[in-house]
Every structure is written in C-alpha cells, then in structure tokens.
Chain A
Amino acid sequence: MTIRARIRSWLFAVLQRSRAERDMDAELKFHIEAYAEDLERSGVKQEEALRHAHIEFGSVERMKEECREARGVSLLQSLLQDLRLAVRVLRKSAGFTVVAVITLALGIGANAAIFSVVDAILLRPLPYPQPAQLVRLWEDAPSLGYFRNVVNPYNFMDWRDNAKSFQSMAAITGQMTNLSAQGQPIALPGMQVSPEFFSVLEVPPFLGSTFTSDEGVAGHDQVVILSYGLWQSQFGGNAAIVGQKVDVDGVPHTVIGVMPRGFSFPKMKAEVWTPLPLARTDDWKDGRYLTVVARLKPGVTLEQARQDMLRVGNLTAEARPENNKGWGGEVLPMLEDATLDVRRPLWVLLACVGFLLLIACSNVANLLLMRGAGRLREMAVRSALGAGRVRLIQQLLVESLLLALAGMAAGLIVAQFGLHSLLALIPQNAPLPRSEPITINGSVLMFSFFAALLTAILFGLVPALRLSRFDLQDALKQGSSRGGVGGHQALRRCFVVVEVALALLLSVGAGLMLRSFSRLVAVDPGFRTDHLLTMHIWTSPSHYSDDHKRSAYFERMLTEIRNSPGVRAAGSTHFLPLTDSISGSCFAPGDGPPPTPSESPSSQYLVTSPGYFSAMGIPLLKGRDFEARDNFDAPPVAIVNHAFVERYFPGQNVVGKQLWVCWSFKKTVEIVGVAAEARQAGLQDAPEPTIFLSNSQAPMYFATIVVRAEGDPREIIRSAEEAIHRVDPDQAVSDVRSMEDVVSDSVSSQRFEAVLLGVFAAMAIALAIIGIYGVVSYSVSQRTNEIGIRMAMGARSPDIARMVVRETLTLAGIALLVGFGSSVALSRVLESLLFEIRPTDAVTLVSAGCVIVAVSVMASVLPARRAAKVDPMMALRYE
C-alpha cells in the first residue's frame, strides 16, 4: 500500500529525525568515498580523487534538502526552523517589530472590538431552544403605508385559532408595573403576556411554574412570575417566594415562578410577567397594540408561514372590514426583526474597521519591503547555500505570521479597552436589541485569529514574492544595504496610494456621519429642552380604574408639583417626545359621518394635561390651552397642531370646528386651539399632524410628567417626587431624567456611529501619515546621490524640498482620485443612516480631500527638509 509506505517513511523521518539525518549523511558519504576509490583505482591521486568526487557529486547540502523534501518532512521541520529564525530576526530589529506590531494591534483590535458587537447582536442565535423557529408577527397595510404594526387583540385571537403554520403563538403588552413588596412602591418594567408566551420561547422557569391557560382568563389572572434579578434584589433569593402574595398594581398576586438568570425578550425589558386575559369581549375589540411572537412548526418554511398568514389575514379582513380593510399579517424571523435597525450601521462599522485593517496591512507591507532591501544579502546567502525560492518565501511568510500573531495578541488588549469605551457610549436605559453581554469570547478569538492569518498573507505575500526574486550574482556582489530593489519603490508607492485612498474613504464616511449628527442635534425640537424635568407615572388600574377618579388624581398631582418650590410650570403627556413613541388615531370632520379605521385619514394624537404646552415651551398659535373647566361634564375639546391644519384644513380657521376622533369619544370634539409644531418620535422625524386630547377628558393610565424648573431640573427631583407621594404614597415614579438627557439619549445611536467612524478615520489618517512619511523619507535616503548631483548642478535647497513635496502630492493626488471614486460608489450605503446630508455632500468631500492633502504635505515636510539639507560633497562621496 503506497499510502502506508508514505506514512511510514514520513513518520520515520519526523519521529527519528536524527537517525534519518545520520542515515542520509552515511549514505551520501559512502557514495562519494566509493566513487573516489574507483577514481583512485583508475590512477587519480588520493586527495585529488576525493576532491573530484565531491565536485562531480554536486552540492551535498542541496541534495540533502531535496531528499528531505522528497520525503515530505521538510514542511514541518522547516517551519519550526523558520519559526526559530523569525523570532531571532524580529528580536534583532526591535524598532521595526514594535512599529509593525502596534500598527497591526490597532487594526486587529478595532476589528475584534467591532466584531464582538456584531457577533453578540447580529450573529449569535437568540438564547432560546431552536431559535430559528421563532418569528414575530405584525400587521401591515402596505396601501396605507403601515409596516410592522402592532396587532389588534381580535386579530391576534383569529390568527392563533386559524393559522396552521405555528406550534404556538403569544401576545405581549409591555408596561410599567407598580410593585410593593416591603411597603416601598417600586415602578418596574413588566410584560403582560398571553399564557402561551413561555412555551413559545420554550424556556422553563428557574423556580415554580409558568402560566397555564386557565390563568389567561379574567378573574384567574392574579398570578405573577418574577425575574431572577428582582427575586434576588427584592426577595433575597428565597425559594419560599413561590406561593407567596405580592402586590402588583395594588392587587395581591400569587408568585408562581421565577425565571432563570438572563432570561429576556429582545427590545423589551421586564422584571415581572403577569397574564394577559384576552377574550372576545368589547374590551379587546379596538386598537392595535399587541406584540406577537410565534414558533413555527418543525419543517414549515418562512414562505409557507407567509402564505398561511395571507390566508388568515383575508379571514380577519372579511370578518371585521371596518377595522381591517387593507390590513394583513406579516412574518419576520425573530432575530432579523430584533436587529432590523442596527443591522446596517453595524455592518458599516465592520466594513470601516476592515478598511482600517487594510491600511495597517499596507503599512506593514511597506515596512517589510523597506527592511527587505537591507536583507537582500541574507536572502542571497541562504539561496547560495541551497534554499530554493519556495523556501525563502516560506521563511518570509513565517515571519509575517509571527508578526500578525503578535499583533493579534496586542490587538486583543486594544479590543478589550476599545470595547469597554465603546459600550460606555450606549446609554444605560437604551432598549438594546439583545440583552446578552457583549464580550471578547471564543468566536471573537476565532475571528481575530483568522483576521491575523489573513493579514499575514495580505501584508506578507507581496513583499515575500518580491524579495525572493533577485539575481544571485548581483545580490552577492553588491553592498549590504542598497541596490537591486529599485522596482520596490513603485510597489511601495502603490501601497501608499491604497492606504491614503482608504483613509480618504473613511474620512468621507466619518465626515458625513459627523455632519449629519451635528445637523440632527441642531434641529429645533419645537420645545425648550433646558430646565425641564421628566418623570414617568403608571397608575395602578385597581385604584384608579374609574376615569373621573384617575383624571382628578393626575390633576391633584400636577397641582401639588406646581406648588412645590423651584417649579415654574408642570404638565403631562402620555408619550414623551423624542422617545420613539407615537400613537395614531383615525378622525373625520365633525359635520360628516363617524370615521372608520380603514376608510378615514389617520393622525397622531397625544393626551396632554392643561399646562403641558406652557411647561414644554410650545407656543399656542391660536385659541386656548386646555383648562380646568374642560372636565367630564363639559363638552369634549381638542387642540391640533399647525401641521394638522396645513394638511387637512389649509387656510381655514379651525378653532371652533368639530372633529370625530376614533380613539376616545362617542361624540365629536371641538377644536379650541392650534399649537406650534414640535418633534415627537425623534429629532429626525418631521412633525406630523397631531390631535391633542385633554387628560381630564380622556385620561390614560400612564403619563410622563414634565416640570419646568427655575434652576437646575435635577435639584427639584426630590421635591417633585415628594409632591407626588403627598397625593398617593404608593405611587411609584420611574425614568426620572432631565429633558436634555432625553434629547441626548434619543440620538445615542447616531452619536455612537459618528464617534466610532470619527475615531476610525483618525486612526486611518494617523496610519496614512506614517505610511507616507516612511515611503518619502526612504525615497529621499535612496536618492541622496541624485540630490547631491542636482545640487552640484545648481539646484537650491528650496527646489529640492519642493521636489520632494511635489512627489508626495502626486501620490496624494492619485489617492484622491481613487478615494473619491470609491467613496462616491460606497457612501450610498450610508444614505439611510444620514440626516439631511446627501452621500455626495460637497462640503464633506472637499474638506476630507483638504485634510488628506494637508496631512500628506505634513508627512513629507520632515523628509523634504532633510533632502534640502543634503551636502552635495557628502552625498557624492556616499556611493
């Protein structure tokens, strides 16, 4: 068997290396001596015969090397040999090694840090069994412009009962929950879920049990499941908690279970779970507000599920056309759904660090080429001693690999710090798509290792191919450091052009993001963000289910706050601006028939208290604010914003007009005022037509209270909370933030992207400077002789300096062309991330170009001055 023979001979050679070597020596020695003896016998003198035999035989070392190769051992052994040599070489040129390793560490480190985010958020499967089966279901109405809309309860029940593609389906509403365990009220994020929720996710409880279907029926729903964290912090991790009673929103609930540590649902925070008692009653007929998650049956594809939902969507549309005409069901894989908004920015960031790594690679390749010029003799000697070209390339690549691995090791330290500061850019309470920790884990290590491997090939291969190709005779004849490498100068320039072009590309990207960000934060939100405190209130339905009682409660609370020291004004709104929250309602002019959700136009609406506009600093353009007299006994009133008038009643005086509003009333409301426009969902979203209803006439269960302070808003936090507790000591307050923090948090993802791109661009420019400087100064040192001749012929120092700078500018010019070309092609992917800035924004392109030119000149100034100071006499003698 030939395979066996091969393995045997290979094993023999590898395991018994010294014996194999001895055998080989003995065999060749025998040959030469036997031949010499034959020569002697034919009459040649003894010493002459041995010499002659050696010459006839050829290079013994070379033959031995070829024999080793023939046996297939040489790869492993020569790699070890090369590794030892590489360590020695790299240690000897410490300066070069340090610069190269730092450069690579920055490149690989940035990649590892960003990859760990990409991995944790986009790549890692969701932390549930068979995560690929999990999908999110939405309603959509493409013709009306609604996509990924939350779901109407009746429609959810129809889906659950009629769809055939899913094992199970659950509905969720997220809300704040007031929990009082030891007397102290705390407001916690909670989820009300239909009983199937935990079985859809297939996560068993840590303690106790999850909901049974009975517990999803009204009247049997006073049970609660706690998060691990809450159980630890509030109940001391006592296992006896299961079965005990805890007050949830003022009603005693039995604790039936504790979920395991780390259990979470994407984008929704929750510390407590209570059942959602869905039923086909009028309570659940209107509105779309349920989040729906489902698990596909095994073997059912996404496409089949979509077809199924199309069919079920038609059923719901036929059953309740007034609500559902034009609406259908949408299916999205859960992971894709959770990461929809962050997918593009994260891939952009990963691409940017990829470019950064390329820049680092070309820098190191340049360093290798320059150093290689000084190693020509070493190469020549090794070649003369029998090393083939492949062997030389192998050794140079082993050196590169060693550099790359050292770069990786240092890079992981960089990544650790980088990741830390990167995560610090994300606000504490941001709703992350994933709650799993972002760390440098196994897959990040694997990624870094492959990145290092790839970089080693990228920066090592071209120099290795170049350096291993030389004319042996020339190389041996020549001095130790110069000559024979003229061609490399062109290659080095190529690398510089590439890295400067990439640096330009990153600068353009960063410039676009920074300009977009500065535009975004300069947007006038339509209200005054200074001296404003915001706090979230959730009223327990058990205490305040009565509308009159609830509206009176809010009024008393606001009055108490207004009377506290340091408070100028106070009001409330159900959704705070710039928190990505909007609500919509259909409406119709009051002189026509009542509106239906499928036929009538839709507007945003907000439920606000009297005094909200003045507390926010939103001017009233016409009419009046809500007042105390607009109570339940008085006719319902509304305020609309300027955009609403412009869109639906252009040029008309709307004050005094009647409106039907689907959300709240069985009768029409009278428009009593027109407010100026203010941004609602976020700074980037232009104000939409909005109807304001009074919290005294259509009270919500929750509100964000806004308090205008005389001084620092943080100083009145205590007095405002005390005022609230004077009205109801059990009322919990949450999300206490100054409006300035709210604004800052609302642009955190844009800030994250802009800052990171800015940092990467700065790193790219720094590396490009090093690259330009290296190449230009090397070129100057190579041309000392030429410069000397020019000076001897009458060129003056400024001429020489200009020549060097001009040469650099030529390189920069080519790089600008390449860079602009590619940035025009690539920056389109940034389009959806930009606010009011086109990807071809001239200001950005021009300033990035100027930066690159300025930086190039800067990098060439030192070498130019050195060139200008060349002494012609010295230079000519230099050769």
Chain B
Amino acid sequence: MDKQLELLQGTLDMLILKAVSLGPLHGYGILLRIQQVSKDRLEIQQGSLYPALYRLEHQGWITSEWGESENNRKAKYYRLTATGRRRLQTETEQWNRMAEVIAGILKTTPGEL
C-alpha cells in the first residue's frame, strides 16, 4: 500500500458530493466509498466528515432521510440534489482545469522556456 496522502484543503466537500452522486449513502458508507475508490491512499479524519455533511446539506447540495442499513440498523442516508449535481459538475471542471495547469507548470523543463 502506498503511503497515505493528507486531504487537500477544501477537497473533502467535492469528494463527498462525488461519493453520493453514485447513489444514496450513510455517513460511514461515504467514508468507506471514498477510501475504497482511492484505494486507501487518502487519510480522512472520521469525525470531520459530519460537519462537512451538515454544511453541504445546509447549502442544499445534498439531502438526507432515515433508512435501513445493510445490517438492518436505522441510518441516515444522503442523496445528491439537482443543485448539488450542478455544483459537482462545476467543481469537477474547475479541479481538472486547475490540475492541468499545475501539472503543466510542474512539468516544465529549462529547455522549454
């Protein structure tokens, strides 16, 4: 396993939106989904997930309802809203553009200047 990376400032919201865009999930499920997709290469402080979830819900990007978990327990499930979907789209585009630019800069060699 590679060494775990610390989450970049401000990216947790985006990852949460992406995680719930694939289908409704409870908080713990979101954590597992992110770790699974990232192949355990990201380190997420478990507790910090919830303030982020509450903030996203407060902004109307996700919505929640109580449901049954896999092991028949009551759990709160989060779902992406329409505005959340648009938000995720713009954030993704921005991120990609940014990553491209940064990568471009970092790849520059002395000869290219």
Chain A residues in contact with chain B, CB under 8 A? 1-2, 4-6, 9-10, 23-24, 26-28, 30-31, 33-35, 37, 56-60, 62-63, 66-67, 69-72
- When C-beta atoms are compared, the residue in chain B nearest to A63 turns out to be B47
Q: Decide: A59 and B74 in contact? CB cutoff 8 A.
A: no
> What is the bound-complex CA distance between A63 and B74, given in angstroms?
21
B-side contacts of A2, CB under 8 Å: 59-61, 83
Q: List 18 A-B contacts (CB under 8 A).
A: A2-B60, A5-B58, A5-B60, A6-B59, A6-B60, A24-B50, A26-B74, A26-B76, A27-B26, A30-B26, A34-B69, A34-B75, A35-B28, A63-B47, A67-B51, A69-B51, A70-B55, A71-B54
Q: Nearest 10 CB-CB pairs, A to B?
A: A5-B60, A58-B47, A66-B51, A70-B55, A2-B60, A70-B54, A63-B47, A67-B54, A34-B28, A31-B28
A-side contacts of B59, CB under 8 Å: 2, 5-6
Q: Decide: A63 and B75 in contact? CB cutoff 8 A.
A: no
Is B73 in the interface zone, CB < 8 Å from A? yes
CB distance from B75 to the nearest CB of A (A): 5
> What is the bound-complex CA distance between A6 and B28, given in angstroms?
24
Q: Decide: A58 and B83 in contact? CB cutoff 8 A.
A: no
A-side contacts of B52, CB under 8 Å: 70
- When C-beta atoms are compared, the residue in chain A nearest to B63 turns out to be A5
CB distance from B103 to the nearest CB of A (A): 33
CB distance from A559 to the nearest CB of B (A): 97
> What is the bound-complex CA distance between A35 and B28, given in angstroms?
8
CB distance from B31 to the nearest CB of A (A): 8
For A23, A26, A63, A69, which residue has the most chain B Cβ atoms within 10 angstroms?
A: A63
Q: Decide: B58 and A31 in contact? CB cutoff 8 A.
A: no
> What is the bound-complex CA distance between A31 and B31, given in angstroms?
10
Is B72 in the interface zone, CB < 8 Å from A? no
> What is the bound-complex CA distance between A27 and B51, given in angstroms?
12
CB distance from A291 to the nearest CB of B (A): 67
Which of the four size classes fits the interface of chain B?
Answer: 20 to 34
Chain B residues in contact with chain A, CB under 8 A? 26-28, 31, 45-48, 50-52, 54-55, 57-61, 63, 66, 69, 71, 73-76, 81, 83
> What is the bound-complex CA distance between A69 and B46, given in angstroms?
18
> What is the bound-complex CA distance between A544 and B63, given in angstroms?
97
Q: Decide: A58 and B51 in contact? CB cutoff 8 A.
A: no
A-side contacts of B74, CB under 8 Å: 26, 30
- When C-beta atoms are compared, the residue in chain A nearest to B76 turns out to be A27
Q: Decide: A30 and B75 in contact? CB cutoff 8 A.
A: yes
CB distance from B25 to the nearest CB of A (A): 12
A-side contacts of B45, CB under 8 Å: 58
B-side contacts of A62, CB under 8 Å: 47
A-side contacts of B83, CB under 8 Å: 1-2
Given A30-B69, A30-B76, A59 and B58 contact (CB-CB distance below 8 Å): no
CB distance from B91 to the nearest CB of A (A): 15
CB distance from B16 to the nearest CB of A (A): 13
B-side contacts of A71, CB under 8 Å: 54-55, 57-58
B-side contacts of A72, CB under 8 Å: 58
- When C-beta atoms are compared, the residue in chain A nearest to B51 turns out to be A66
> What is the bound-complex CA distance between A30 and B63, given in angstroms?
18
> What is the bound-complex CA distance between A70 and B26, given in angstroms?
18
> What is the bound-complex CA distance between A34 and B75, given in angstroms?
10
- When C-beta atoms are compared, the residue in chain A nearest to B30 turns out to be A31
CB distance from A7 to the nearest CB of B (A): 10
> Can you name 15 extra interface pairs (CB under 8 A) apart from A9-B57, A72-B58?
A2-B61, A5-B57, A5-B59, A5-B81, A23-B76, A27-B75, A30-B75, A30-B76, A34-B73, A34-B75, A37-B71, A59-B47, A60-B47, A62-B47, A70-B52
> What is the bound-complex CA distance between A83 and B27, given in angstroms?
34
Q: Decide: B58 and A57 in contact? CB cutoff 8 A.
A: no
> What is the bound-complex CA distance between A30 and B25, given in angstroms?
13
For A5, A6, A62, which residue has the most chain B Cβ atoms within 10 angstroms?
A: A5
> What is the bound-complex CA distance between A4 and B81, given in angstroms?
13
Q: Decide: A31 and B27 in contact? CB cutoff 8 A.
A: yes
> What is the bound-complex CA distance between A71 and B75, given in angstroms?
20
For B45, B52, B60, B75, which residue has the most chain A Cβ atoms within 10 angstroms?
A: B60
> What is the bound-complex CA distance between A35 and B54, given in angstroms?
20
> What is the bound-complex CA distance between A834 and B84, given in angstroms?
72
CB distance from A624 to the nearest CB of B (A): 99
Q: Decide: A1 and B58 in contact? CB cutoff 8 A.
A: no
B-side contacts of A33, CB under 8 Å: 73
- When C-beta atoms are compared, the residue in chain B nearest to A59 turns out to be B47
B-side contacts of A37, CB under 8 Å: 71
> What is the bound-complex CA distance between A62 and B28, given in angstroms?
18
Given A2-B83, A30-B75, A66-B51, A58 and B60 contact (CB-CB distance below 8 Å): no
A-side contacts of B46, CB under 8 Å: 31, 35, 56-58
> What is the bound-complex CA distance between A10 and B54, given in angstroms?
11
CB distance from A39 to the nearest CB of B (A): 12
CB distance from B26 to the nearest CB of A (A): 7
Q: Decide: B60 and A67 in contact? CB cutoff 8 A.
A: no
- When C-beta atoms are compared, the residue in chain A nearest to B57 turns out to be A9
Given A2-B83, A27-B27, A34-B28, A10 and B58 contact (CB-CB distance below 8 Å): yes
For B28, B63, B83, which residue has the most chain A Cβ atoms within 10 angstroms?
A: B28
- When C-beta atoms are compared, the residue in chain A nearest to B32 turns out to be A38
Contacting B58 at CB < 8 Å: which of A24, A27, A70? A70
> What is the bound-complex CA distance between A58 and B69, given in angstroms?
23
CB distance from A14 to the nearest CB of B (A): 12
